[in-house]
Each structure stands twice: as C-alpha cells, then as structure tokens.
C-alpha cells in the first residue's frame, strides 16, 4: 500500500536537484519515508509495518508558500538527522567543504581542497558543496554535492570534518565526533563583523552565537583577527588556528602557471598590465553603487588607463571584479575593460594584477603580499565608517595609498614605494601568513581523523 502511494514520487525524486528523500530503517518492520520537494509539491509519510499513520501533501501556492515549503523541508531534514544520530557511524576520512554562495573551487576551502587532493591523493573522501553543481568542472577524487539537496544531508550524517568559509549551515545537526572548521573569507580583520555589527539587536546577537558557537576551530590570518573575532563571535581564544589564510599560500608558490591561465583565459598579450578594480559591498550606503560602479565612471577610467600607458609605455586594461553579493558585469565590447567576475577564483587575478584599486575589500590584505601598489577610495571608506558597519582597524593605520579621485592614480603609481610600510603593517597586525596554511590545517585535520578522541558533540577543542 505504502509503496504504491510513494512510487510516483520516488521514481523521479532522485533525479531532481532539489529533491530530498530519506529512507531510515528504524526497526525490522518499520520504515520512515520522507519525500520533500523545494518547488512544486511536498509529500511525506510515516509508516509502521506497512500501515500509513501520517501523510501530508502541500501544493505550491506562490512565493509565500515556497518559503513555507523550504522551512518544512529543513525541519524534516533536521528531524531525520536526529533519528539517524546514533544509527549511522561517521566515515573518518570524509571531508565536506563549502565556500559560501560561491561558484567554483574557491576561497580558503577551495585552496585546501586542491591541496588535500594534490598532497594526499586517495586518502580522503572529499565532497565539495555548492549552489552551482552544474557549472563545476570535475576534479579527480572530488565529489560534487548540491547544497541542501538529499545528497547533501545524506552525505553529512557520515562526515567527519565539515569546513566552510563562514558559518556552518544551521540545518546540519552536529554529531559526537564531528569537527566543524571555519576558515573565514577575509584577511586582516579590517571590517567589523559578527555581534559587533548588531549591538542594538539582541536577537541577531543570539543568532551569531548559535551560528558560530558549534565551531571547533576558526582559522585566523593575524593576531588582530584573533583578538577582534574572539569578541565578535563569542569564541574562546583556544578555538583559533593562527596559521594564515589557506588561499594565500598561492603567493609563495610558482606564479607562472596561474599567470598563464589568467592571461590565456582573457586572451591577453603577456606585456599587457592589469589594473584590478575590486570594490566590496555595503548594506547601508544607497548612493555607493553610483560612486564605485564602472558604468558611472567609464570616462574617468579610460583616462586613467591612457595616462598609465603614457607613463609606463605599456598597454593597460581594467579588470572589474565585484563582490559576490553585488554581481555586476562590465562593457566587454570595450577592449580596455575585462569582466573579472567570469573567473571564479580571485586569487589568481590578484597574482596577475599590477595594481589593485578598491574601497575596503579585504582582498587588499591578500594583494599586499605581492608588494604591489594598492589604492583605496577615501571618500567611500569614510562613508562606510560613518553609515555602515565601520572598522575594527582604523583606516588611518592602513599602509595603502588613499585617493579622492581616480585621476590621482597614474601620478601616484609612478612614484609609489610603500613596500616597507606593508611589511610594518603586517608586523603590527601580527600576520600569520607564511605560505603554509594548507599544510598546517591538514595537520590539524589529521590529528582528529587519524587518532581516536573524545568529543563533547558541539563545543570547542583546545589547539593541538
């Protein structure tokens, strides 16, 4: 009886990207069936000894219903994890990695993923989680998993280590023995984050404690990061791995391959110089987009590129790379402008660029490791400091060249010589960047996966 009712759904659900199906053997004669669809229809049934005790179906009725369907889906996913909590053992070599709302194998989790497969081939069961599974190329030894899909939850319940560059999905129920690691997604700890950004909202503060309170480790890029984020996320100092950012290991490696890939991808002549323009995002600056967008400043940028060409005797192009929260394309019909958003990973772009222009993006911390010029937009920084999150580290202490207008760039580039100031800044910030972050993080993972240990099931561990 039950199988006939469920047959039509189960026949299709495994092939749908947003289907979530659970089959949990509770006893010899009992089966718990859940069939959940994010779009369309949700049906779930509970049976004991072949008798249907509960069956409920909801049909899609507009946007409001879709939100309700997703909530129900996540509630059922959490309930199933609780049911299987003790029944399903962990797979000690399974690691799931997720870069928050990014396409490609990118950011710190992506760098670690590629390191693990290159240095320890076949040793790990590696699973890359993404919202864009159809766009990813296949990597040997790596499985791709759609976020919040059936495969996602089924894979997680046996996962030993879950690594993300932000917070861990609150719909994942942490089991005893599992390890949660956040690599974070910005170096230098310049902008305020966490509880420090919601001092007037006790509810948001509680959310941050819930989201980050399950972490075992938090990767720190510098001493300032450890100090500021301890308070921002209410984490103990013992939670922080002071090893630098895994994505920045690339700056200590042979750059030729990365440079060649970028130049070939954009069909650039080897002598062409790249000006990387990479503004960040803001939540409370309504006029900011007009000030930083490429479209609103096309004429000014063309003049900058022309002046740079006259000053250096080389051809310059502008590569426009936006924050992934505010994606924007550029006019690629103009040969002077290149769409940096077409390239998934920004780190090779940083390696290829001759200079960086930004507002307050944390990529300036990464790019400073190249000892190349960085120009920051002073007026945008001031507005962000007054009207948005603000900064942990005062912009007055930054070693990056501040400009009020784009026209200042060519002249200041010609006389730029701030390498020593960069080095002093890294010393003052207590930088942990050494080019060995992936190696050191792997050592920590090995410590917890290759030797038995006790786990409280959700709280922090002392650093090894």
CA dihedral defined by 62, 63, 66, 67, rounded to 10 degrees?
-150
Residue where the block lists tokens 């690599």: 183
Residue 299: predicted pLDDT? 92
DSSP state of 343: S
Distance (Å, whole) CA 250 – CA 134 = 26
Distance (Å, whole) CA 242 – CA 225 = 9
Q: What are the pLDDT digits (tens) for 360-373?
A: 999 999 999 999 99
**Residue 337 pLDDT greater than 60, yes or no:** yes
Does domain 91-244+437-449 fall into CATH 3.40.50.11820? yes
> What are residue 329's phi and psi, to 5 degrees?
-100, 170
**Residue 45 pLDDT greater than 70, yes or no:** no
Q: How confident is the model at residue 345 (pLDDT cuts 50, 70, 90)?
A: very high
Is the model more confident about 6 or about 312?
A: 312
**Residue 75 pLDDT greater than 80, yes or no:** yes
Q: Which range has highest mean pLDDT (26-30, 41-45, 82-86, 240-244)?
A: 240-244
Q: Where are the alpha helices (DSSP H) in 100-240?
A: 107-119, 150-156, 202-212, 223-232
Q: Evaluate whether 91-244+437-449 and 254-429 have a shared fold.
A: yes
Q: Where are the domains of the chain?
A: 2-83, 91-244+437-449, 254-429
- 169-197 average pLDDT score: 93
Residue 259: predicted pLDDT? 92
Q: Where are the beta strands (DSSP E) in 116-157?
A: 125-130, 142-146
Residue 329: predicted pLDDT? 65
**Residue 86 pLDDT greater than 50, yes or no:** yes
Helices (H) and strands (E) in the chain, counts: 15, 17
Six-digit token string for 237 = 């100092």
- 50-56 average pLDDT score: 37
Distance (Å, whole) CA 308 – CA 304 = 6
**Residue 2 pLDDT greater than 70, yes or no:** no
**Residue 375 pLDDT greater than 90, yes or no:** yes
CA 373 to chain CA centroid, nearest Å? 26
- 258-268 average pLDDT score: 95
Instruction: Classify residue 256 by burial, with Cβ atoms within 10 Å: 0-12, 13-18, 19+.
Output: exposed
Does domain 254-429 fall into CATH 3.40.1280.10? no
- 354-358 average pLDDT score: 98
Residue 200: predicted pLDDT? 54
Sheet holding 217-220, edge to edge: 142-146, 125-130, 91-98, 159-164, 179-182, 217-220, 240-242
Q: How confident is the model at residue 336 (pLDDT cuts 50, 70, 90)?
A: very high
Six-digit token string for 267 = 């069909």
Poorest-pLDDT segment among 29-43, 56-70, 134-148: 29-43
One-character DSSP codes across 286-314:
TTHHHHH-SGGGHHHHHHHHHHHHHHHSS
């Amino acid at each position: 009886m039950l199988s006939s009712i469920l047959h039509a759904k189960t026949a299709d659900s495994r092939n749908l990207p947003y289907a979530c199906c659970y089959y949990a053997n509770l006893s010899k004669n009992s089966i718990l069936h859940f069939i959940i669809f994010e779009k369309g229809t949700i049906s779930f049934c509970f049976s004991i000894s072949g008798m249907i005790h509960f069956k409920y179906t909801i049909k899609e009725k507009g946007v409001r219903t879709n939100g309700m369907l997703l909530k129900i889906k996540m509630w059922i996913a959490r309930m199933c994890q609780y049911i299987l909590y003790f029944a399903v053992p962990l797979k000690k070599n399974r690691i799931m990695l997720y870069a928050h709302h990014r396409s490609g194998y990118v950011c710190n989790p992506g760098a670690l993923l590629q390191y693990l497969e290159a240095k320890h081939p076949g040793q790990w069961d590696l699973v890359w989680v993404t919202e864009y599974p159809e766009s990813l190329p296949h990597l040997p030894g790596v499985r791709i998993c759609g976020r919040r899909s059936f495969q996602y939850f089924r894979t997680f319940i046996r996962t030993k280590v879950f690594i993300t560059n932000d917070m861990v999905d609150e719909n994942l129920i942490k089991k005893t023995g599992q390890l949660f690691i956040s690599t974070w997604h910005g170096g230098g700890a310049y902008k305020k984050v966490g509880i420090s950004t919601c001092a007037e909202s006790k509810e948001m503060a509680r959310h941050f404690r819930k989201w980050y309170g399950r972490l075992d480790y938090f990767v720190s890029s510098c001493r300032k990061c450890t100090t500021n984020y301890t308070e921002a996320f209410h984490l103990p100092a013992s939670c922080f791995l002071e090893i630098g950012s895994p994505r920045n290991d690339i700056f200590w490696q042979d750059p030729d391959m990365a440079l060649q890939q970028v130049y070939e991808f954009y069909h650039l002549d080897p002598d062409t110089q790249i000006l990387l323009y990479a503004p960040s995002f803001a939540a409370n600056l309504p006029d900011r987009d007009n000030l930083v967008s490429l479209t609103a400043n096309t004429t000014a940028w063309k003049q900058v590129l022309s002046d740079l060409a006259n000053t250096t005797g080389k051809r310059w192009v502008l590569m426009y790379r936006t924050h992934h929260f505010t994606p924007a394309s550029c006019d690629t019909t103009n040969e002077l402008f290149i769409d940096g958003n077409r390239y998934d990973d920004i780190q090779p772009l940083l390696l290829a660029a001759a200079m960086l222009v930004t507002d307050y993006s944390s990529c300036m911390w990464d790019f400073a490791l190249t000892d190349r010029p960085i120009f920051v937009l002073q007026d945008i920084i001031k507005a962000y400091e007054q009207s948005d999150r603000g900064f942990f580290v005062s912009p007055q202490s930054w070693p990056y060249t501040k400009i009020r207008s784009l026209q200042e760039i060519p002249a200041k580039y010609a006389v730029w010589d701030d390498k020593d100031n960069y080095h002093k800044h890294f010393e003052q910030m207590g930088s942990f960047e050494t080019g060995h972050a992936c190696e050191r993080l792997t050592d920590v993972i090995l410590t917890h996966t290759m030797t038995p240990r006790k786990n409280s099931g959700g709280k922090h561990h002392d650093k090894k």
